[in-house]
Amino acid sequence: MGNSRNREIAAGLSRIADALEIKGDSGFKVMAYRRAARVLEDLPEDIARVAIEGRLREISGIGKGIAQKIEEHLDTGTMRKLLEATAGVPEGLFDLLNIPGLGARTIHIAYRELGIRSLADLRQVISDGRLASLPGLGPKKAESIRNGIELFERAGRRIPIDRATRLAEDVVAWMKQGPPAERISPAGSLRRRRESVGDLDILAASDGGSELVEHFTRYPGVTRILARGGTRGSVHITGPEFEYQVDLRIVPKESWGAALQYFTGSKAHNVRLRSLAKDMGLKISEYGVYRGERREAGATEEDCYRALGLDWIPPEMREDRGEIRLAREGDLPRLIEEKDLRGDLHVHSVFSDGSLTIEELASAALRRGYEYLAICDHSQSVDYAGGLSPARLLEQQAEIDRLNRKLKGLRLLKGAEVDILSDGKLDYPDEILGGLDVVVASIHSGFRKNVTRRMIAAMRNPHVTAIAHPTGRLLSGREGYAVDIESVAEAAAEFGVALELNACVDRLDLDENNLRRAVARGGRISIGSDSHHSGDMDMIRFGIGIARRAWLTKEHVLNTRPWKNLHGRREQGPSR
Ligand SMILES: [Zn+2]
Ligand SMILES: [Zn+2]
């Protein structure tokens, strides 16, 4: 795992190697710097200590010249060689080294022959054909660099939680086929279940570090190995739409809990823990909780928190938002779990724009162990999504009745996703709405027009169960409605209408902050998958992740109740 000083010096040495290569140097000198950087990254002890004890030269991979430079860095905080090597090399060229398929040699040639200084310059010389005309390059190579640039730019983006989760699960499954590890788990923001993550962090407890890292770098889909050593591996994995950086760290079994805690974060939470530890005369690190030299805890997260006088804190809460005080007082909320949901309140069938029949939806719901499922196809004015005319709605309901007669253990609820029209009226008359078990009202047009007023008007209708995707944002790009979510939340609490947490991963709407606002006003939340296709119902897990990040408990969520009690606002249950 190294420490920050080791990493800083390693980064300096790599930078020297990069600069030399860009300037056209190659061969053993460059390789020596790279090797030394790698050795330092993996070094388990503090390099300063090694230097003080005069053992620098004993480390294999660090020669005399480099040992001197390390000592210079320890004395002065920098290395003259670094300044000398990087002098005159445009800063932008270093970034180009991160582009898959683009080596320092090519950067050197393009710099020398064409004077490129940045990514923008590189793009230019690719598109005007000048790069391809250089000796030893050609159109094929230029094209592959263009692809590399695309990948590089995607790599800078955050990965949506569903893709990140699937990849992490797949990597973990792959690791389980390799050399045995005591424990293995994703860490980082994935484990905290944020709506998107940067890099993926995977942690393993094992004594056989380098074999495990070797196996990790052979994961199918690895397109680039950034680092590999005895305690750490780092790779790029190229997926269909993203390039992911995945880091594997290996820790000894007795540090597992401390390392998992440390690498799960968040930073703010860990800073708070460290200062709490300090106040208690303890020290907490990725190796354990220590009193002086003595390790008080480290093998499990529970032990580490307990050593600090705290209950174990669910990862989703670790954001320094007051969770540490609650953990000390034994007052942490019991967060909602996926199994608390008794049904899904928002799915589409082939009657509107879904691709599954109601029967197929029912089997999916049964597989998930649900007690009920609300079929909520679109209402009449949404033609682009196959909105149902009243006559068509009757056909759909006849199919629901037919299935309910034969289904065991699952109740299909008659529902609709009813549009809130531009005047705030609903897209079906009250006679129809009154016959439905579940009405989710939502806006699909007029995103800028009186949205708040329209939503509140819709909530006054006694048949409305919930407002679906209340802000309309799409994670892939679209900004949401011009809506005042505070006023909507207030009205929702007053009228007893739920606000939806739409678990579709492109929506996750309400988001965690708005969820907190809504429940702070006493509002109730309904969680729906907004399923359109096979497998979509399982996205509910990402909604649960967000709900937990917002500290929601079972009591906050409408569809943890039996279906007969869904309508808090009415005396009687849903019709039929
Ligand atoms: Zn919708
Ligand atoms: Zn929908």
Is there a single domain that holds both residue 348 and residue 322? no
For ligand 1, the distance from its centroid to the CA atom of residue 481, given in whole angstroms, is 13
For tokens 């009687």, the residue is: 572
Q: 251, 281, 306 — which closes off a domain?
A: 251
Q: Minimum-distance ligand to the CA of 347?
A: 2
CA distance 225 to 232: 11
Ligand 2 center–CA 474 separation, angstroms: 13
Q: Which residue reads 């001197």 in tokens?
A: 68
C-alpha 466 to ligand 1 mean position (Å): 12
Task: Say how many Å lie between the CA of residue 195 and the centre of ligand 1.
Answer: 19
E-strand spans in 305-437? Answer: 343-347, 372-378, 411-419
- Kindly identify the ligand whose nearest atom is closest to the C-alpha of 353: 2
Furthest-apart CA atoms within the chain: distance in Å: 88
How much is the mean pLDDT over the chain? 92
Å from CA of 415 to ligand 2 middle: 11
Confirm whether pTM is higher than 0.95: no
Stretch 127-155: mean pLDDT, rounded? 85
Q: Rounded to the nearest whole angstrom, what is the distance from the C-alpha of residue 522 to the centroid of ligand 2?
A: 25
Pair 100, 172 in one domain: no
pLDDT at 300 over 80: yes
C-alpha–C-alpha distance, residues 519 and 496, integer Å: 12
The pLDDT of residue 208: 78
Residue that is last in its domain, among 220, 251, 282? 251
Burial (CB count <10 Å: 0-12, 13-18, 19+), residue 225: middle
Q: Is the pLDDT of residue 571 over 80?
A: no
- Per-residue pLDDT for 2 more than 70? no
Report CA(414)–ligand 2 centroid distance (Å).
14
- Considering every ligand atom shown, identify the ligand nearest to the alpha carbon of residue 376 and give its number: 2
84 vs 23, 35, 76, CA distance in Å? 12, 20, 16
CATH number at residue 476: 3.20.20.140
Q: Check whether residue 354 and residue 381 sit in a common domain.
A: yes
- Tell me how far apart the alpha carbons of residues 419 and 442 are, in angstroms, rounded to a whole number: 5
Ligand nearest to the CA of 416: 2
Task: State the distance from the centre of ligand 1 to the C-alpha of 302, rounded, in angstroms.
Answer: 41
CA 369 to chain centre: 26
8 A C-beta contact, residue 298 and residue 290: no
The pLDDT of residue 499: 98
Alpha-carbon distances of 14 from 60, 98, 225, rounded to whole Å: 17, 13, 15
Q: What is the mean pLDDT of residues 511-517?
A: 95
- Report CA torsion sign: 420, 425, 427, 428: positive
Tell me, yes or no, whether 63 and 7 share the same domain. yes
Ligand 1 center to 453 CA (angstroms): 18
For residues 412 and 555, state if they share a domain: yes
What is the number of domains present in the chain?
4
Question: 198 alpha carbon to ligand 2 midpoint, in Å?
Answer: 29
User: Is 50 exceeded by the pLDDT of residue 18?
Assistant: yes
* Gap from CA of 468 to ligand 1 centroid (Å): 6
Residue 317: give its domain's CATH number: 3.30.210.10
Span 373-395, mean pLDDT? 95
Query: 417: CA distance to ligand 2 center in Å?
Result: 6
Q: What is the mean pLDDT of residues 179-194?
A: 95
β-strand pairing of 243-251 with 222-228:
unpaired
What is the Å distance from ligand 2's center to 283 Cα? Answer: 50
Q: What is the pLDDT of residue 207?
A: 85
Residue 396 lies in a domain: yes
**In terms of domains, do 546 and 534 share one?**
yes
Å from CA of 459 to ligand 1 middle:
16
Q: What is the pLDDT of residues 277-294, one digit of tens each?
A: 999 999 999 999 999 999
Residues 263 and 171 in one domain: no
Q: Find the 442 Cα to ligand 1 centroid distance in Å.
A: 6
Quote the domain boundaries for residue 269. Answer: 258-329
**What's the gap in Å between 309 CA and the centre of ligand 2?**
46
Who contacts 515 (Cβ-Cβ below 8 Å, separation ≥6)? 501, 525, 546, 547, 550, 552
More confident: 153 or 544 = 544
Angle, alpha carbons 304-306-307 (nearest 5°): 65
Q: How far is the CA of 480 from the centre of ligand 1 (A)?
A: 13
Question: d(Cα 372, Cα 88) in Å, to the nearest integer?
Answer: 68
Q: Which residue has the higher pLDDT, 415 or 154?
A: 415
C-alpha 346 – ligand 1 centre gap (Å): 9
Q: Residue 532: nearest ligand to its CA?
A: 2
Cα-to-centroid distance, 550 and ligand 2 (Å)? 23
CA atoms of 477 and 499, how far apart (whole Å): 22
pLDDT in tens, 431-445: 999 999 999 999 998
Which element (helix H / strand E) includes 6? helix 4-22
The token pair at 381 is 């004015």
What is the share, in percent, of the chain residues with pLDDT greater than 70?
Answer: 97
Residue 575 has pLDDT above 60, yes or no: no
Q: What is the pLDDT of residue 1?
A: 37
Q: Cβ–Cβ contacts within 10 Å for residue 121, how many? A: 18
Between the CA of 122 and the centroid of ligand 1 the distance, in Å, is 43
Q: Report the separation in Å between the CA atom of 469 and the middle of ligand 1, taken as the mean of its atom positions.
A: 7
Angle (CA) 509-512-516 rounded to 5° is: 110
Tokens 């569903």 label which residue? Answer: 162
Predicted confidence (pLDDT) at residue 369 exceeds the cutoff of 60: yes
With respect to residue 216, please indicate whether it lies within any of the assigned structural domains.
yes
| Spatial distance between the Cα atoms of 523 and 543, rounded to a whole number of angstroms | 17
Which of the ligands is closest to the CA of residue 509? 1
Would 345 be classed as within a structural domain? yes
Question: Token pair of 258, please?
Answer: 């401390």
Structural domain includes residue 574:
no
Calculate how far, in angstroms, residue 391's C-alpha sits from the geometric centre of ligand 2: 20
Looking at the CA of 377, name the nearest ligand.
2
Ligand 1 centre and the CA of 421: distance in Å? 13
What is the per-residue pLDDT for 94? 87
Mean pLDDT is lowest, of 226-240, 449-463, 507-521, for 226-240
Ligand nearest to the CA of 470: 1
Q: Which ligand is nearest to the CA of 348?
A: 2
Alpha helix (H) ranges present in 23-128?
Answer: 28-42, 47-52, 64-76, 80-86, 91-96, 104-114, 119-127
Please give the distance, rounded to the nearest whole angstrom, from the Cα atom of residue 239 to the centre of ligand 1.
29
Spacing, Cα 547 to ligand 2 middle (Å): 19
Q: Would you say residue 573 lies in a domain?
A: no
Single-letter amino acid code for the residue at 287: Y
Lowest mean pLDDT among 147-151, 195-199, 470-474: 147-151
For residue 567, how far is the Cα from the chain centroid?
34
The pLDDT of residue 570 is 42
Looking at the chain, how many residues does it have?
A: 576
List the CATH number of the domain containing 136: 1.10.150.110
13 three-class SS = helix
In a domain, 232, yes or no: yes
Quote the DSSP letter at residue 379: B
Predicted confidence (pLDDT) at residue 235 exceeds the cutoff of 60? yes
- State the average pLDDT over residues 332-360: 97
422 and 308 within one domain: no
* 146 and 61 together in one domain: yes
Same-domain pairing of 435 and 501: yes
3-state helix, strand, coil in the chain (%, to 5): 45, 15, 35
Do both 198 and 130 map to the same domain? no
Residue 3 pLDDT:
64
Ligand closest to Cα of 443 equals: 1
Q: Domain of 209: which CATH number? A: 3.30.460.10
What distance in angstroms lies between residue 418's CA and the mean position of ligand 1's atoms?
A: 9
The residues, ordered by sequence, that sit 6+ positions from 327 with a Cβ below 8 Å of its Cβ are: 305, 310, 311, 312, 313
Q: Please report the DSSP string for 29-43 in residue order.
A: HHHHHHHHHHHHHH-
Residue 243 has pLDDT above 50, yes or no: yes
Q: Considering only 271-285, 447-461, 473-487, which range has the smallest mean pLDDT?
A: 473-487
CA 13 to ligand 2 center in whole angstroms: 54
The strands making up 232-238's β-sheet, listed across from edge to edge, are 183-186, 200-205, 243-251, 232-238, 222-228
With vertex at residue 512, the alpha carbon angle to CA 510 and CA 515, rounded to the nearest 5 degrees, is 55
| Final residue belonging to a domain, choices 251, 273, 302 | 251
Ligand 1 centroid distance, CA of 551 (Å): 25
Signed CA dihedral, 44, 58, 208, 41: sign only:
positive
Same-domain status, 139 and 225: no
